[in-house]
Amino acid sequence: MNRFKVAERHVERGATVLKEGESSAELYTVLSGQGIRYMTLENGRRQVINFLFPGDLAGLQGGLTGEMSHSVEASSPMVLCVFDRARLWELFRNQPERSYDLTWISAVQEHFLGETIASLGQRDALQRVAWALLRMHERLSALGLLEAGSVPLPFRQQDLADALGLSLVHTNKTIGKLRDAGLANWAEGRLTVADRRQLARLALVDLERVEVRPLM
């Protein structure tokens, strides 16, 4: 697998990793740090598509269609494993196990996007925020990032608002309701979930056992 790797790239918080409308010669997997995928509409408004965590893949869509339909931004310092896009088909031909890893990563991201669509269409504001915080807490805990009862969550409330189709004010008030109810608290870049089962009931979802594959 190492012969398909080009380099490791370190990016700072706020850096643009991939830009909407542009073509990139590189694909990335996240080794550490967190980021967001987002699209910018013609009127300047932004839609956050989803969040990037260690193990996630960035740039595959652009690698297959020729240009990116969304941008990727680092929400914290990130370390990225860089792959040469031109050798993607060679990887699929010669490394079936790694090809499966890529497919597995993409399937996990598709599953999360499906739940996101259900949230936007059928959950109210409190349910949306509860769902998002629960799923991110589950994912980060499975990655071994749970420390003293909390996980790192470096995103801004505006990022979550843009992902869930809510205003910043509404998002802030909803997070406050979850905190006051003793279910979850997101402050100073850390997320604590005090009652996972009750938060899951509120979000209208089941608790998930997140499977984590080795980082590529």
pLDDT in tens, 38-50: 999 989 899 999 9
* Residue 106 neighbours by CB distance under 10 Å: 14
Q: Please state, in angstroms and rounded to a whole number, the distance separating the CA atoms of residues 118 and 197.
A: 20
Q: What is the pLDDT of residues 119-146, one digit of tens each?
A: 888 899 999 999 999 999 999 999 999 9
DSSP alpha helices (H): ranges in 165-205?
Answer: 168-180, 196-203
How far apart, in whole angstroms, are the C-alpha atoms of residue 127 and residue 11?
33
Q: Is residue 197 domain-resident?
A: yes
Residue 21 has pLDDT above 90, yes or no: no
pLDDT band at 64; cut points 50, 70, 90:
low
Assigned domain for 215 exists: no
Q: Does some domain include residue 210?
A: no
Range of the domain at 55: 2-98
Of 98, 125, 154, the last residue of a domain is: 98
Q: Could you tell me if 25 and 74 lie in one domain?
A: yes
Summarize pLDDT for 187-199 with one digit per residue, the tens: 999 999 999 999 9
Record the pTM: 0.86
pLDDT for the residue numbered 38: 95
Q: Do 47 and 41 meet the contact criterion of CB atoms below 8 Å apart?
A: yes
Helices 157-164/168-180 angle, 10° precision: 100
Of the three residues 70, 98, 126, the one that is the final residue of a domain is 98
Last residue of a domain, one of 98, 132, 151: 98
- Lowest-pLDDT range of 53-62, 72-81, 132-141, 193-202: 53-62
Residue 211 lies in a domain: no
pLDDT tops 80 at residue 177 = yes
Q: For residue 88, what pLDDT is reported?
A: 73
| Nearest alpha carbon to residue 102 among 19, 3, 2, 27 | 27
Share of the chain above pLDDT 70, in %: 91
What total number of domains does the chain contain? 2
Indicate the range of 110-114, 202-206, 211-215 predicted with least confidence.
Answer: 211-215
Question: Is residue 45, in this structure, part of any structural domain at all?
Answer: yes
Establish if 94 belongs to a structural domain: yes
Residues 118 and 179 in one domain: yes
